[in-house]
Structure 1
Amino acid sequence: MTYSSFSLWFAFAFVLIALLLSVWQKLGLEKEIAIGTIRSTVQLLLIGYVLQFVFHSNSIWFIVILIAMMVTVAAKNAASRGAQLPGIFWRIAFSLLITEVITMGLLVAFKLVTPTPQYLIPMSGMIIGSSMVVCGLYLNHMNRETESARGEIEALLSLGATPRQAIQGVLKRAVKSSMIPTFDTMKTIGLVQLPGMMTGMIVAGASPIEAVRYQILIMLTFSSSAAISAVLISLVSYRLWFTREALLRS
């Protein structure tokens, strides 16, 4: 299956359908749809040229710069869900970076991935993107759980509990909830959906068996990265829900 630059423009007909439905149902999403379409198109085109340059240069420094950019953008996006927490951006960035180093380091050490830009950059993007979702979900659940359990937490603090002891139950629930989507996806993969990487390889002409092997590797990697990032962000961020005087923030 091949696409010319001209025929690719016809794909924007799908966006037109979304716009028309939004107008018909008066959803007010026309601006968001238009901005999302333009941004995704421009960003993908730009990263395509950047990756082509990096792949040909085969320089470790370009790989490091790209991964650092991915971590920064992902941390900024996830941190927007906890904007009221001072320093949350750096804690998320730290968690994403450590998750990337551990996960990719094991993949390279076990020779499951060839240490070349063609493998390191796409897989790093998937690992960081998956961990970003986990961190965002963690912040959402922590904010909601902390507010609903405010009375319980403040009662424990008044009885002499440390912030960690007072928020431990909330912390566990938030970590668990942030990881559930990843493992739910693993339960239904291949039955409900065919993942993007596997589908892309098959469309590109690779053997379905070979594509499945790579997808299994990716999903198992996601399970590890989800656990690492969820536990890390909980360990380094829970104190942000308290003031310096160990009082629960309003």
Structure 2
Amino acid sequence: MTNLTVSNSTLALGFVLVLVALVIGYIEKLHIDKAIFIGVIRAIIQLAIVGYILKFVIKTNDIWLTLACFIIIVVNASWNAGKRGNGIPKAFLISLLAIAVGTTFTLVILVWTGSIKFIPEQIVPVTGMIASNIMVAIGLCYRNMMQTFTDRHQQVLEKLALGADIKLASLDILRDSIKSGMQPTIDSIKTLGLVSLPGMMSGLIFAGVDPVKAIKYQIMITFMLLGSTSIGSIISCYLGYKQFFNERKQLRNELIS
């Protein structure tokens, strides 16, 4: 296999690419210099910490440490997804359930089929990939629900007035929101190999793995992300839309104003 080495001097030279982004932001007066600096510094610190933690967890190869990493990833992803549903009651708890179920179900299938083994070096990275993908999907679902409930609140009120229950009155919004959560994953699948060469496949090829084997792994990851995204989207939407109604099955004005 190819030995890949990234030295400190190489990283320092690579910082030129960050300077390019800073220069573009300055020339175009985008006012994103501070955000770029904070983002880069946070990324370096977080990745350095995670790198040493993963090194310890993988070396220890302990089931409880592996499960602890799983919980930390899921809770953190749920917290961030919940923030994207700011204003929706119980957004964090809904996100936690959706991400936990989607991630657990997907991991069980992958381990059961022999696609991955229940060892830290495989479980932890795959958990991160699944949870982050569901997190993004849930954020899109929340955003779509908040916007469409605001835009279509009169239609929902009319359906309720005609005797429809809250699910029937919200069905179109529910479907649009689930679709919005799944759409980015579906769009990325369509361009695999034609436009994008995904990170996992590229990383395996960089490491010297046979490209055909790398492609098989990427296909497995594609199936994994599509399934987990659909699970997370449908759970978050079916629980989330109910939060737009009060106990009297009336629209909450504070959420759609």
- State whether TM-score is above 0.5: yes
1: CA distance, partners of 2:68 / 2:153: 42
1: CA distance, partners of 2:86 / 2:186: 27
Q: Which structure exhibits the higher relative contact order, with contacts defined as CA atoms closer than 8 Å and separated by 6 or more residues?
A: 2
- Residue by residue over 1:200-224, the C-alpha shift from the partner in whole angstroms, topping out at 9 and shown as x without a partner, is 1111111111111110100011111
2: CA distance, partners of 1:83 / 1:76: 11
1: CA distance, partners of 2:250 / 2:16: 54
Q: Does 1:217 align with 2:227?
A: no
C-alpha displacement at 1:68, in angstroms? Answer: 1.1
- Residue by residue over 1:182-204, the C-alpha shift from the partner in whole angstroms, topping out at 9 and shown as x without a partner, is 11111110100100011111111
Q: Does 1:157 align with 2:155?
A: no
Equivalent of 1:131, from 134, 138, 142? 134
Range moving further from structure 2, 212-221 or 75-84: 75-84
Q: Does 1:48 align with 2:63?
A: no
2: CA distance, partners of 1:194 / 1:110: 25
Instruction: Give aligned-pair identity as a percent.
Output: 34
Which residue pairs with 2:173 in the alignment?
170
| Matched residue count | 250
Secondary structure at the residue paired with 2:176?
helix
Q: Give the TM-score of the pair, scaled to structure 1.
A: 0.97
Q: Does 1:77 align with 2:80?
A: yes
Q: CA RMSD in A?
A: 1.1
C-alpha displacement at 1:146, in angstroms? Answer: 1.0
Structure 1 unmatched ranges of 5 or more = none
2: CA distance, partners of 1:223 / 1:180: 10
2: CA distance, partners of 1:139 / 1:17: 34
- Residue by residue over 1:58-84, the C-alpha shift from the partner in whole angstroms, topping out at 9 and shown as x without a partner, is 111111111111111111111122111
C-alpha displacement at 1:32, in angstroms? Answer: 0.5
Q: Give the TM-score of the pair, scaled to structure 2.
A: 0.94
Q: Does 1:117 align with 2:147?
A: no
Secondary structure at the residue paired with 2:163?
coil
Is this contact kept in 1: 2:141–2:181, CA < 8 A? yes
